[in-house]
């Protein structure tokens, strides 16, 4: 069996005919990139690349020359050949990681189809038949809706400063038996001192984890937060390969690693990351905030096979089109997704639907609200900044202050 071609399928995710203006636009930033690795025996595999899909598409096309004529079943050897092929362009980042991921994912899909086995069975068998998931809530009403749909965990994310009172309201809504998480990602990113102040207030709300409290490049700052705050920390969605996740694990900076199933470097890399984390008693909750449906299938196969699973992030109803571009459609029941049993990944592209949404843009210029920045500084576009009005913004409201 030999690889004969690699085809890419790039699509815009967002508004479409019949939708209200601006609905689901993601500020023009969201693209999904799927690919298909074809062979001379008619068997093909599909994968998904995330990180910067519009740019990654060219990387995949460039790397195709390395793969044509190779046996797709030699997954690890081909991955290393691709990795070595990219090293002349610098340390592997989002683009390289995304390209490696989508290609390797498709090779596993091929191998599973050839052997008539689901990918999880080729990775060592499964610990579990279902994978717990959590949803996103930006309001108590949305949190209540998720609880009614069977979820038992919700995350509230913030661009810029954390609204402590909103987190408290969501905690009150879901009750003490559900889990609540906070994603504090910027921009603008908090300074370490502000992240610590916010974290100490969040301690009172019994969070499952506090995610990305400081800029991802600043691991020393993350260490400061870890030492000062008594909440589990989570990070790692922006890194690729075991070498990217290594300092988070070896320095015990986090309690949860969050590799992105579309740019972590591949399914094998994710399992290696999980093993590294396991040796430090760290769990894994893969990032899925901007991914399409193919990578979600892949995440289930990986998570079925590792012992230190926490849960999978799921953006279930961000855009209705996600249920039209692949088949079958994953459906959560009682806050969990079933592990697929079909050969390979167990998912197929609906190419005619993907073609309806040609890519137009893949960059988000600025956050969608000025509240992400200190008043009067929105146009400055700074990467991080300290929070002013500290007493009112970095503390939960108390009855005596109402």
pLDDT in tens, 155-213: 999 998 899 999 999 999 999 999 999 999 989 999 999 999 999 999 999 999 999 99
Shared-domain flag, residues 36 and 184:
no
The pLDDT score that the predictor gives to residue 16 is 56
Q: Do 13 and 65 form a contact (C-beta atoms < 8 A)?
A: no
CA distance 42 to 229: 55
Shared-domain flag, residues 125 and 113:
no
Shared-domain flag, residues 221 and 274:
yes
**Other CB atoms closer than 10 Å to residue 220's CB: what's the count?**
11
Looking at the DSSP bridge assignments, the partners of residue 35 are 8, 47
The pLDDT score that the predictor gives to residue 22 is 44
| Residue 315 belongs to some domain of the structure | yes
The pLDDT score that the predictor gives to residue 21 is 41
Shared-domain flag, residues 165 and 81:
no
Shared-domain flag, residues 205 and 301:
yes
HSE at residue 157, side-chain half, CA atoms within 13 A, is 14
The residues annotated as belonging to the active site are 185, 287
HSE at residue 223, side-chain half, CA atoms within 13 A, is 10
Q: Which residues of the chain have pLDDT under 50?
A: 20-23, 399-400, 402
Shared-domain flag, residues 235 and 104:
no
Boundary residue ending a domain (91, 118, 145): 118
| Residue 351 belongs to some domain of the structure | no
The pLDDT score that the predictor gives to residue 278 is 98
Whichever domain contains 109, its CATH number is 3.30.390.10
Domain range for residue 289? 121-345
Tally of structural domains, the chain: 2
CA distance 106 to 35: 8
| Residue 392 belongs to some domain of the structure | no
Shared-domain flag, residues 142 and 111:
no
Shared-domain flag, residues 108 and 148:
no
CA distance 122 to 115: 9
Boundary residue ending a domain (293, 317, 345): 345
Q: What is the DSSP string of 126-171?
A: -S-SEEEEEEE-SSHHHHHHHHHTT--EEEEE-SSS--HHHHHHHH
């Amino acid at each position: 069996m030999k690889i004969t071609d690699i085809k890419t399928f790039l699509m815009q995710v967002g508004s479409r005919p019949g939708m209200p203006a601006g609905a689901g636009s993601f500020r023009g930033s969201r693209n999904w990139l799927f690919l298909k690795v074809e062979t001379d025996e008619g068997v093909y595999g599909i994968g998904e690349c995330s990180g910067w899909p519009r740019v990654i598409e060219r990387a995949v096309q460039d790397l195709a020359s390395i793969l044509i004529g190779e046996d797709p079943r030699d997954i690890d050897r081909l991955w290393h050949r691709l990795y070595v092929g990219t090293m002349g362009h610098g340390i592997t980042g989002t683009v390289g990681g995304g390209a490696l991921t989508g290609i390797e994912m498709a090779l596993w899909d091929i191998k599973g189809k050839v052997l008539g086995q689901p990918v999880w069975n080729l990775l060592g068998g499964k610990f579990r038949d279902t994978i717990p998931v959590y949803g996103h809530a930006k309001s108590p009403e949305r949190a209540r809706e998720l609880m009614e749909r069977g979820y038992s965990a919700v995350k509230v994310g913030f661009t810029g400063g954390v609204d402590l009172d909103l987190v408290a309201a969501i905690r009150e809504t879901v009750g003490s038996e559900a889990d609540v998480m906070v994603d504090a990602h910027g921009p603008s990113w908090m300074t370490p001192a502000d992240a610590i102040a916010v974290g100490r207030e969040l301690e009172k709300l019994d969070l499952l984890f506090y995610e990305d409290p400081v800029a991802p490049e600043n691991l020393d700052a993350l260490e400061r937060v870890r030492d000062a705050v008594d909440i589990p920390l989570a990070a790692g969605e922006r890194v690729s390969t075991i070498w990217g996740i290594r300092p988070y694990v070896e320095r015990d900076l986090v309690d949860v690693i969050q590799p992105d199933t579309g740019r972590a470097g591949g399914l094998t890399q994710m399992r290696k990351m999980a093993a590294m984390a396991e040796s430090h008693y760290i769990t894994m909750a893969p990032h899925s905030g901007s991914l399409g449906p193919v990578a979600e299938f892949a995440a289930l196969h990986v998570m079925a096979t590792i012992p230190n699973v926490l849960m999978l992030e799921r953006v279930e109803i961000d855009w209705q089109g996600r249920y039209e571009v692949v088949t079958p459609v994953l459906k959560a029941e009682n806050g969990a997704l079933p592990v697929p049993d079909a050969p390979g990944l167990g998912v197929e592209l609906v190419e005619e639907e993907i073609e309806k949404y040609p890519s137009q843009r893949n960059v988000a210029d600025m956050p969608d609200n000025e509240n992400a920045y200190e008043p009067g500084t929105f146009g400055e576009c700074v990467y991080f900044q300290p929070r002013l009005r500290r007493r009112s913004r970095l503390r939960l409201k108390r009855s005596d202050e109402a």
